[in-house]
A and B are shown apart, each in its own frame.
Chain A
Amino acid sequence: MENKKKNPLATIILSIISVLWMYPIILILFNSLKKESAITTSGVFSLPNKENWNGLSNFVASVTQMDFLKSFWYSLMISVMSVVLILLCCSMCAWYIVRVNGKLSKAFYYLCVFSMVVPFQMVMFTLAKTADTLKLNNPYNICIIYLGFGAGLAVFMFTGFVKGIPLEIEEAALIDGCSPLQVYFQILIPILKPTIISTAILELMWVWNDYLLPTLVLDIKKYRTIPMAVQYFRGSFGHVQMGPMMASIMIDIIPIIIVYLVCQKHIIEGVVAGAVKG
């Protein structure tokens, strides 16, 4: 076998493709630093230079006009609350489904799998109405909607993993006098940790970037998550200011890139685990 080849040609080709791959983001970054007049449709390719340099003022304009900090806070709060709730409730539920394994729990499991395929447009109108009626239409309660709509994937991932855990440990703990809650928190959670991380990543990627669900459920005049703010910024200012627009794209991407570079290993493993379970 010829392994660990040093093939300079392949490395060069892949490097060129990688740079091209990053080009769209680099292009936006350059434009976010330029003056308004230099960001015309065909002028987007000109590099930032002395004449068109605008420093960080696009970023300042975008943060103040978009009320970015508020949006960031809403996005963060909704994502964290939803994902924590999904992880806690769905892992409990998955454990119950696997161990009790009656007709009802099986039926619930198949409903969860089914819900993963259903397009959101099928329920968008009625879901928004239900959320209004139950007062779930604010950033503090919307996590319940996310738990309901995100349960499919999480229950599916967790049941796949719980099935592989031997019963003996739990039995021994119950015989020793642990309550089911103690068994769950002290035995199951530590074993489930890798799946919890994978599921957290998949759900987080979804909730953080979700646009349509919060747009329909939340009052857009009061609460805007980041994707909503970007779309609102673009859609409602009559003449779009391209400089702040580019900057708003960058401030959406920068936190994502930082998180990605820090937890890259977990994110990639999470994606693989999610796919293998399917």
Chain B
Amino acid sequence: MVGKTIKKWWPIFVLPTLAAFIIGFLWPFIWGIYLSFCKFTTVQDVTFVGFSNYAKLMLDKSFSHSFWLTVVFAFVSSILINVLAFTIALALTKGFRGTNVFRTVFFMPNLIGGIVLGYIWQTLLNGLLSKWGQPLLALSAKNGFIGMLILLMWQQIGYMMIIYVAGLNNVSPDLIEAAQIDGATSRQILFKIKIPMIMPSVTICTFLTLTNGFKMFDQNLSLTGGAPGKQSQLLALNIYDTFYARSGPMWKGIGQAKAVVFFILVVAIALIQLKATSSKEVQQ
């Protein structure tokens, strides 16, 4: 009955969101897919060129470099963040003193924006590197990569830790007590009870860390700016760079084609990951 009554009220309830969604997402998305098959510098001089942008992007060495760099970065950062966040969460659910203070501290970096985070870590890491006589972030792709990993870990461990703490607090103490009475070691309790019981948290945390790793832009821009050359450029920055930093009539089309490839990559990884980890969830 509620459904029937409010159905004709859609201009008030749905239309504002729907209209904004079309303006802010749906139309730009569809238009973007179309433009990836075109050559253009502004929206007035669009000519259809078929798949040639896609053929050209295969030849762009900076693209394949940043593609693989992003894949490695996303997986490595996701694993490190999840393992460390889970370890801290385990420590914080043991009922030690001061747990709340630690939780507050670990979560804090998450609220700072990516641009500012990049400059904070640039100052700190360049200081350390010059003390140790190592090349600075902007001069060494390896140091830049490690720097981005450290930065993203600092930013996201707290967030994931909060989710893991909530998951661990939901594991019924009865279950653990029963296992202890049956003589299970704390190692067995961890691997046979706690981890299987918090698989939903693992699913959501891997999803968030993987997609954040793939989509990382602000931190990359401010920490290394892609330097040296384009060697520490992740995909998002590479696409931005193709659009706005390269002159030449063909680059915008290629940039849009890169964005489509990027989009397909992120969606595919997200789907595969959700399927893989949610199949391991236990029904309670």
Given contacts A126-B28, A271-B163, contact A253 B20 (CB under 8 A): no
Q: Is B104 an interface residue (CB 8 A)?
A: yes
Residue of A nearest to B177 (CB): A1
**Chain A's nearest CB lies how many Å from the CB of B130?**
4
| Contact present for B124 and A111 (CB under 8 Å) | no
Q: Is B183 an interface residue (CB 8 A)?
A: no
| Contact present for B163 and A117 (CB under 8 Å) | no
B23-37 CB contacts (< 8 Å) to partner A: 23-29, 31-32, 35
Kindly specify which of B10-18, B57-65, B75-83, B141-149 makes contact with the partner chain.
B10-18
| Contact present for A117 and B266 (CB under 8 Å) | yes
Given contacts A122-B260, A147-B20, contact A227 B2 (CB under 8 A): no
Within 8 Å by CB of A246, from B95, B123, B215, lies: B123
Q: Is B204 an interface residue (CB 8 A)?
A: yes
Number of A residues with CB within 8 Å of any CB on chain B: 99
Residue of B nearest to A115 (CB): B25
Q: Which A residues lie within 8 Å of B163 (CB)?
A: 271-272, 275
| Cα separation A226 to B240 with both chains bound (whole Å) | 21
| Contact present for A230 and B119 (CB under 8 Å) | yes
Q: Which B residues lie within 8 Å of A117 (CB)?
A: 211, 266-267, 270
Q: Which B residues lie within 8 Å of A96 (CB)?
A: 6, 9-10, 13-14
**Chain B's nearest CB lies how many Å from the CB of A128?**
9
Q: Is B218 an interface residue (CB 8 A)?
A: yes
| Cα separation A127 to B239 with both chains bound (whole Å) | 15
Q: Which A residues lie within 8 Å of B23 (CB)?
A: 130, 134, 136, 144-145, 148
| Cα separation A4 to B243 with both chains bound (whole Å) | 57
Q: Which B residues lie within 8 Å of A230 (CB)?
A: 115-116, 119
Within 8 Å by CB of A171, from B1, B103, B266, lies: B1
| Contact present for B159 and A252 (CB under 8 Å) | no
B97-140 CB contacts (< 8 Å) to partner A: 97-98, 101-116, 119-121, 123-124, 126-127, 130-131, 136
| Cα separation A7 to B267 with both chains bound (whole Å) | 45
Q: Is A36 an interface residue (CB 8 A)?
A: no
| Cα separation A55 to B77 with both chains bound (whole Å) | 39
Q: Is A237 an interface residue (CB 8 A)?
A: no
Given contacts A100-B3, A117-B270, A125-B243, contact A92 B13 (CB under 8 A): yes
Chain A positions 70 through 112: 1 when the CB is less than 8 Å from some CB of chain B, otherwise 0: 0000000000000000000110110111011100010010011
B207-259 CB contacts (< 8 Å) to partner A: 207-208, 211, 214-215, 217-218, 221-222, 235-236, 239-240, 243, 252, 255-256, 259
Given contacts A24-B120, A41-B136, A126-B31, contact A268 B6 (CB under 8 A): no
Chain A positions 42 through 66: 1 when the CB is less than 8 Å from some CB of chain B, otherwise 0: 1111000000000000000000000
Within 8 Å by CB of B263, from A99, A118, A271, A276, lies: A118
Residue of A nearest to B23 (CB): A148
Within 8 Å by CB of A3, from B7, B95, B124, B204, lies: B95
Q: Is A161 an interface residue (CB 8 A)?
A: no
| Cα separation A118 to B260 with both chains bound (whole Å) | 10
Q: Is B54 an interface residue (CB 8 A)?
A: no
Q: Which B residues lie within 8 Å of A28 (CB)?
A: 120, 123
Q: Which residues of B contact A (CB under 8 A)?
A: 1-3, 5-7, 9-10, 12-14, 16-18, 20-29, 31-32, 35, 43, 91-92, 94-98, 101-116, 119-121, 123-124, 126-127, 130-131, 136, 154, 159, 162-163, 166, 173, 176-177, 180, 200-201, 204-205, 207-208, 211, 214-215, 217-218, 221-222, 235-236, 239-240, 243, 252, 255-256, 259-260, 262-263, 266-267, 270
Q: List 10 A-B contacts (CB under 8 A).
A: A6-B97, A10-B94, A21-B105, A108-B14, A124-B259, A125-B256, A130-B28, A180-B5, A211-B218, A275-B205
Please give 13 more A-B residue pairs, beta carbons under 8 A apart, in addition to A119-B263, A275-B201. A27-B120, A41-B136, A93-B13, A111-B21, A112-B21, A120-B236, A127-B25, A129-B28, A134-B23, A174-B2, A180-B6, A275-B204, A276-B200
